Structure 1
């Protein structure tokens, strides 16, 4: 059995006690230490602000004091779409924003190559929305709309269409499968509009991440962080960010509890040439948005050609305002 040994004695004699320091000398040393720390702190902050990876929240706030309550986020792919096509998408967004006093946030897919890494570029939707939130910290809502979509009824504000008092209460799809047609996880049956921070829709097979409204706040940052987790980006989902979103909604009730699913035609009607529309999800005149689902990934389709008749219809509506 081993026992604790007594402290060893040092073979060297103990040093002689030093004389006590004067109070004046102690004050000098204390003042010097404070000054040195202040200099170090100033140099550190200067280095931090000089870093190309740092974005000051104070600068972001100052730059966006005129931001409206709603920011429309559009992610543009200059390699996938022609300049002529993107000009039409931008014109569509600018007219809608000007009509209702909203703010546009246009970003390029290539801006987020480093963040997305080896994952499909479609994941860029998440850092793009997060970037918009950082740039416009005073906005109340962020409306993401993919570039293969047009706002067809510019007279509908988000407030009258979705956000007005009592409006969402009527529209929310309760106790329905999150992932159609037969997911065992369903939307909450007793959810109220006060619980909601994310408004999204679904097609015949999945949730639709190409058109959604996200309320600014802690939940929005939490949700985007989870969605962009490297585990999901590197999992090789067949439909990348779409299946990542499907998974989160089914297995993270914290997110589902703050999400309202609304009928497809309220946020993302599909064009007649788009596959996978829900039972009542194909575009009809008067719908808010039309999407050309898959036109950017199907080699047999051409987004510019499919958009053209809808764009001309939109132009007539705009000219008639």
Structure 2
């Protein structure tokens, strides 16, 4: 039996020819050009963003509102707890001051917002966020609790507090944000850096009279403050203790905070020389009024009602 041998290879093989790519050359070029274009776009975009961040001559990335109105004065009312007469006097007080300085007022009710099982005092937080929605061009939101009267109408809030040079002079630097805390207000901040202004009392931060500057930071701050996680903690002083927690643990908030002397915007009816109301003070508050066992807000503020009305009629 004969078996076929494999054919012998020729000693003169054909010349080498490279294997052709399955992908046409024009397609490869097109893909590479596309990749280069994407990379170039990313690089150029990165340089543009960096230049905007570090070039102070350009406009900020987030537009500042026009300032119309300059200030929205927000108050949460609870007629069932404090009575219609008291609520009406609070409305008149705010409206007269706002009209005098070209501001707007916004009155809401404690039951306007879904607070679930948390304290009614939490309503101030969505109320301020609501004000930013209703008045997107305002420059500031001033929350003033229903336990307070504005006593001196002549000067605007800007003249008393918010002008950057003035705020830079009166804001308290390098002090504990709450008693005995190692976390302190920053010492290098200037008045123009500030987005949130409030005061302290002998227990800690006070939220009965505070000012927030409208902008992206204000929205972030108010949404963070109203986070369900903080409300679920059941802090003893509800939103005030939640704010103290935020300020001590979040530099993003502490770096925009100014603590001013209490009598600037938050004098108490009862208190020592630093916090107690004195003739000529801007605001008087009956902090804690209406709580269980305490006199009503209307009762505690009754002697100041005629005083502010007279001051407004003469200014």
Q: Tell me how far apart the structure 1 counterparts of residues 311 and 273 of structure 2 sit (CA, whole Å).
A: 27
- Mark the structure with the bigger radius of gyration: 2
How many residue pairs get aligned? The number is 250
Q: Secondary structure at the match of 1:90?
A: helix
In the alignment, which of 288, 299, 310 is matched to residue 305 of structure 1?
299
1:80 CA drift (Å): 1.0
Q: CA deviation at 1:315?
A: 1.3
Task: Give the corresponding residue for 1:154.
Answer: 153
CA offsets 1:176-211 (integer angstroms, 9 cap, x no match): 01012x111100011111210011111011101110
Please point out which of 300, 312, 315 is paired with 1:318: 312
Shift of 1:299: 2.2
Matched residues in 2 for 1:140 and 1:319: separation? 27
Tell me if structure 1 keeps the 8 A contact 2:164–2:192.
no
- In the TM superposition, residue 298 of structure 1 has moved relative to its aligned partner by 3.6
How do 1:28-43 and structure 2 match up within 5 A? Answer: none
2:178/2:244 contact within 8 Å kept:
yes
Alignment of 1:63-78 (within 5 A): 67-78=68-79
Q: Which residue number in structure 2 is paired with residue 143 of structure 1?
A: 142
Paired position in structure 2 for 1:242: 240
Aligned to 2:224: 226
CA contact (8 A) 1:146 1:211 kept: yes
TM-score, normalised to structure 1's length? 0.76
State the distance in 2 between where 1:246 and 1:204 align. Answer: 14
* CA-CA distance at 1:77 after TM superposition: 0.9
RMSD over aligned Cα, in angstroms? 1.4
CA contact under 8 A between 2:164 and 2:190: conserved in structure 1? no
Whether the aligned pair in 2 keeps the contact of 1:119 and 1:233 (CA below 8 Å) is yes
> For 2:79, what is the secondary structure of its paired residue?
coil
SS at the partner of 2:69? coil
Q: Which one of 259, 263, 266 corresponds to residue 265 of structure 1?
A: 263
Q: Secondary structure at the match of 1:224?
A: helix
Does the Cα contact within 8 Å between 1:198 and 1:258 map onto a contact in 2? yes
When normalised by structure 2's length, the TM-score is 0.77
C-alpha change, 1:66 and 1:300, in structure 2 (3 Å) is closer
Unaligned runs of 5+ in 2: 1-65
Q: Would you say 1:290 and 2:284 are equivalent positions?
A: yes
8 Å contact 1:72–1:103 — kept in the other structure?
yes
SS in 1 for 2:81: coil
- Return the alpha-carbon distance in structure 2 between the equivalents of residues 241 and 143 of structure 1: 17
Decide whether the 8 Å contact of 1:204 with 1:279 is kept in 2: no
Instruction: Work out the CA distance in 1 between the residues paired with 2:281 and 2:120.
Output: 29
RCO greater where, 1 or 2, for CA within 8 Å and sep 6 or more? 2
Deviation at 1:279, TM superposition (A): 5.3
Structure 2 counterpart of 1:38: none
Match of 2:125 in 1: 126
Q: Any idea what SS the aligned residue of 1:248 has?
A: helix
CA contact (8 A) 2:168 2:190 kept: yes
Are 1:77 and 1:108, in contact at CA under 8 Å, matched by a contact in 2?
yes
Q: Which residue of the partner structure matches residue 194 of structure 2?
A: 196
Matched-pair contact (CA < 8 Å) for 2:225–2:242? yes
Q: Partners of 2:272 and 2:201 in 1: how far apart? A: 5
Question: What is the CA-CA distance between 1:226 and the residue it aligns to?
Answer: 1.1
